Amino acid sequence: MNDADISESQEKPLILIVDDVPTNLQVLTGLLNQRACEIAVAINGEDALELIDTILPDLILLDIVMPNMNGLEVCERLQASPRTKEIPIIFLTAKNETKDVVKGFETGAMDYVAKPFNSTELLARVNTHLELKKARDTQKELIFKLQEKSAEIKKTSKVVEAASKRITESNRVRPDDPEFPVAEPGEYQNIPAGQLFHMDAEGHCGGRFHFHGAFRGELCPRGD
């Protein structure tokens, strides 16, 4: 989710009304104007799907009985798409359409409102589902941020682990490395301390030898 998506989620919610009866569209639009929201309308199922291709509403008020493509078919289409399956849908239905309401819930609708509309009931249901969607969107945003942070922590942990491993390897005494000869216990007990340094061909001192155990004698300061 980018900044643009977050910004859009903070704007007024967009409600799509789908009904083939102009009077119903007018009544619903008038009721919804009582709350802060954007409103889009479609007069049939086909127009609704075309409109949803260009906009993504936060809530759909969908009439069940419409010519050509009814509300149940529109709902099934929306539920079949990952892009639109989580848009809450409230069916608009007559009181004698109980079977259609049950079918609507089976196809993925969240709720229904019976005609003729009761303004208090309609606005209460609209507000409830918009708040639920807002809560779900917020939860998704938080989960996304947590996943990003978790990935960042894992990446940092791998870098630290690799660096720690390199440090450990560089500090390890390597008996088989000619640059780091290792003396056995007692091997250099009788060698004068001044000879306990590497000497190159020109008589310059190199590094000290490494010992497995203690030796007798006192190391003299290194001098070049």
pLDDT of residue 202: 53
Q: Which domain holds residue 196?
A: 182-211
Least confident of 22-31, 104-113, 114-123, 176-185: 176-185
CATH number of the domain encompassing residue 75: 3.40.50.2300
Q: pTM for the full model? A: 0.61
Q: What does the pLDDT read at residue 134?
A: 87
Angle at the Cα of 32 from the Cα atoms of 31 and 34, rounded to 5 degrees: 80
Percent helix, strand and coil across the chain, each to the nearest 5? 45, 15, 40
Number of domains in the chain: 2
Share of the chain above pLDDT 70, in %: 71
How much is the pLDDT for 94? Answer: 82
Considering the domain boundaries, does residue 149 fall inside one?
A: no
Task: Give the angle subtended at the CA of 16 by the CAs of 128 and 10, to the nearest 5°.
Answer: 60
Token pair of 161, please? Answer: 């682990």
Residue 202 shares a structural domain with residue 133: no
Average pLDDT in the chain: 78
The pLDDT tens digits for 42-67 are 999 999 999 999 999 999 999 999 98
